[in-house]
Amino acid sequence: MKLTVQANGICIGCLSLDALSGLYAFDYSVEWLAKEQRFPLSPVLPLVRQSLSAEQHSAHVRQFFQNLLPEGQALDDAAQANKVSKSNLIGLLVALGRETAGALEISLDDSQALSTPLAAKRLLTREELSQRIRSRPDLAFSVWDGKVRLSIAGYQDKIALLEENGLWFLVDGGSLASTHLLKPDPIRSGLQHMTSNEFACMRLARAVGVAAADIRLEHIPDPVLLIRRFDRRITTEGIDRLHCIDGCQALGLGVSMKYERPYGDGRDVQHIRDGASLPKLFALFDRVSAQPTADRLALLRWTIFQTLIGNTDAHGKNLSFFIDAGGIRLAPAYDLLCCLIYSGDQISDTLSMAIGDNFDVLSLTPYDWALMAVECGLNARLVSRELKQMANKILKIWPELKVHLATANADDVTLKAIEATLNQQCQHALSIADNIPKVSKELL
């Protein structure tokens, strides 16, 4: 079984599965290797295959392409709609691969395809969208017109759409591509107004200097988020797709390893920390970044911001990287949430990636930050300075920003809950920041 992997009309390579051995392989095309601006899909899928065993290569390939698929209920819905097992990677890529995160378009190669899908664009009215949002308990939100409209990883309900002249379209095939992701509030009652939460945190990030995706909140009348895709670029000739991978793809980890403690927080397994982590991500920049100093600083600010807004779900798949011929660089932030306002049974209050050895965002100490600095190759004074500056910026900017968020009809109760968390986290950060460089190196 072979699939063609291309980007913007250029064949990058071939993904294959040997039915007898069960092994995957990916081979770059001669056309791609001949290009002056060629680049690998991921640091773990180099242009020249390393001296790995067939089994090791297969594992890297499978993990990379599995990370393109949705998760949770959306994966179940995709499998059911296409009548394939949710463990059937090739089958799901055939069904979902024409609109993935990043630049890649995946399809059957010409020798296997019975026909070439025609480009299609159909209007999605706000009335139809509102009805479908309310019908989610009985009808999968990711399936429209008998087709799955989602190949973006994550658990939240979302669809990809094209926005033109204020109108929204579902698109298929050809040169058509989505420009935005649309998210409604979750169905679970305890997570209502998450759209206001994410809207506020994303706007706050941009206001304090953390690069984040462009986002807006609309009511149709149901609240929905419109997130502009940073992996799409609108040109006079159409829409270019930009190659972009998530943290797990960059580190060569499977989707199940997106948390640093991939087996959970239980007593018997909490010491196993094989998943995505800050030391691994910072080390990645040392190896393959196009601008390591700038990227390391940007990642530090991303990390600090997560702790100050109380985002305990900032895991390895919640940050992404652009890749081109120059190397890898950090992409804008997304999925920023104040998770602490849902503490309890709704969302875990344990950090997805530790600060030092501490997974409790409410009890971070100078030692935790100093240990993180050592593990990630950062200067403790830099960490101290950035923590103070970010906390002060948030406290200064939030009151005026809150007014603008309310003008956009963000939920008032949610904004007040976020404000309480910001005040708590920022004041605590300011109380400990000066002591970070004072932690004895002998203790670290």
Query: 3-state class of 417 per DSSP?
Result: helix
pLDDT at 113 exceeding the cut of 70: no
**Mean pLDDT, the chain, integer:** 91
Q: What is the dihedral of CA 251, 253, 256, 260, to 10 degrees?
A: -50
Among residues 55, 57, 51, 69, the alpha carbon closest in space to that of 26 is found at 57
- For the question of residue 157 being annotated catalytic, the response is no
d(CA 151, CA 387): 36
DSSP label at 220? Answer: S
pLDDT value, residue 190: 81
187 contacts: CB under 8 Å, gap ≥ 6? 136, 137, 157
d(CA 421, CA 418): 5
List the structure tokens of 20: 């007898």
Residue 114 banded pLDDT, cuts 50, 70, 90: very low
Q: What is the dihedral of CA 261, 262, 266, 270, to 10 degrees?
A: -30
> Is the CB of residue 429 less than 8 Å from the CB of residue 436?
no
pLDDT at 112 exceeding the cut of 80: no
Number of neighbouring beta carbons within 10 Å of residue 382: 15
Which architecture, in CATH terms, is 245-443?
Orthogonal Bundle (1.10)
pLDDT at 116 exceeding the cut of 60: no
C-alpha gyration radius of the chain = 22
Residue 380 banded pLDDT, cuts 50, 70, 90: very high
d(CA 348, CA 292): 32
Among residues 46, 30, 41, the alpha carbon closest in space to that of 68 is found at 41
Helices (H) then strands (E): counts for the chain? 12, 19
Point out the catalytic residue in the list 246, 295, 313, 368.
Answer: 313
pLDDT value, residue 115: 47
Across the range 100-121, mean pLDDT stands at: 71
Domain boundaries, given as residue ranges, for the chain = 2-108, 120-233, 245-443
DSSP label at 116? Answer: P
pLDDT at 146 exceeding the cut of 90: no
pLDDT value, residue 109: 72
236 vs 86, more confident = 86
154 vs 382, more confident = 382
pLDDT at 388 exceeding the cut of 60: yes
d(CA 269, CA 273): 9
| Weakest-pLDDT range from 115-119, 143-147, 432-436 | 115-119
pLDDT value, residue 372: 98
pLDDT value, residue 345: 60
Among residues 116, 112, 86, the alpha carbon closest in space to that of 98 is found at 116
d(CA 433, CA 436): 6
pLDDT value, residue 237: 76
pLDDT at 355 exceeding the cut of 70: yes
Residue 139 banded pLDDT, cuts 50, 70, 90: confident
- On the 0-12 / 13-18 / 19+ scale of CB atoms within 10 A, 29 is middle
Interval 45-94: pLDDT, tens? 999 988 889 999 999 999 999 999 988 877 888 888 788 888 899 998 98
d(CA 144, CA 137): 15
Residue 257 banded pLDDT, cuts 50, 70, 90: very high
Among residues 139, 94, 146, 101, the alpha carbon closest in space to that of 120 is found at 146
pLDDT value, residue 75: 83
Residue 118 banded pLDDT, cuts 50, 70, 90: low
d(CA 373, CA 68): 31
> Is the CB of residue 32 less than 8 Å from the CB of residue 41?
no
